[in-house]
Amino acid sequence: MLHCPYCHGSEVADQPLGVLANHPGAAHQALLLPDWGPTTYFSQGRFAPDADTAARLAARGVTIEHSPIVELLGTAPALDGVRLADGRVCALGAVFTIPESVPASPLAAHLGCAFDDGPLLPAIRVDAMRQTTVPGVYAAGDAASPMHSVTLAIAAGVIAGAGAHQSLAAEAAGGAPAR
Ligand SMILES: Cc1cc2nc3c(=O)[nH]c(=O)nc-3n(C[C@H](O)[C@H](O)[C@H](O)COP(=O)(O)OP(=O)(O)OC[C@H]3O[C@@H](n4cnc5c(N)ncnc54)[C@H](O)[C@@H]3O)c2cc1C
């Protein structure tokens, strides 16, 4: 089970791929995946696409399957396929899904930082220098970004570090923390 086509797509390219829908955003994942392999969207009987989404999935060549996946087949971490509730077996090289995510720490909430809704979980609201809505408090990485990536986290950390230093320097010089 994989979560991100940009992280893992190349590892499983040119094989039949599946999306196990467990989230309203799953169809979006299925729209991306055909660039790595022929894709089946498993609605699990819970996230059937509306007519517009079904048309876009069809335009991308995505097969829609409503019988739920009940079993993964193969020897982990390899995957041979999935068994469906109606007994059929579909050969697949990988299944993507959107794991439920929660913040690892309540620190930002305890400090009173504002959050913005994100596709997976709320992200700490930050400005261009990665300062949160609490003056002098900076945030970077997954906790403060709707898109989760090592490169973005590192880049945001550089900016947040510079922002925090400049805020401390301004305060030491007699001013208020940068806003
Ligand atoms: C399975 C998987 C595969 C991925 N593959 C890729 C990939 O191929 N390429 C890519 O760019 N991104 C990938 N990502 C995303 C990438 O891992 C994250 O975007 C990145 O690690 C975010 O960095 P971060 O520093 O914000 O958070 P993290 O890397 O999660 O670091 C946060 C750290 O804070 C620590 N921590 C948490 N709470 C506390 C606390 N209260 N006190 C002290 N420490 C605490 C945690 O232990 C952790 O070490 C993948 C993610 C997953 C889950």
Q: Which of 11, 145, 150 has most ligand 1 atoms within 8 Å of its beta carbon, as the pocket-test mutant?
A: 150
Q: Report strand pairing: 69-73 vs 81-84.
A: antiparallel
Distance 169 CA to ligand 1 centre (A): 29
Between CA 114 and CA 39 the distance in angstroms is 38
Q: What integer is the mean pLDDT of 82-88?
A: 98
Residue range 6-29, pLDDT digits in tens: 999 999 999 999 999 998 889 999
Ligand 1 in reach of 150 Cβ (< 6 A): yes
The whole-chain average pLDDT of the chain stands at 94
* Residue 22 DSSP code: -
Q: How far is CA 144 from CA 84, 113, 132, in A?
A: 38, 11, 9
Which residue's CA is minimally distant from atom 35 of ligand 1?
A: 104
| Per-residue pLDDT band at 175 (split at 50, 70, 90) | confident
Between CA 33 and CA 63 the distance in angstroms is 12
Ligand 1 in reach of 102 Cβ (< 6 A): no
Six-digit token string for 104: 């690892």
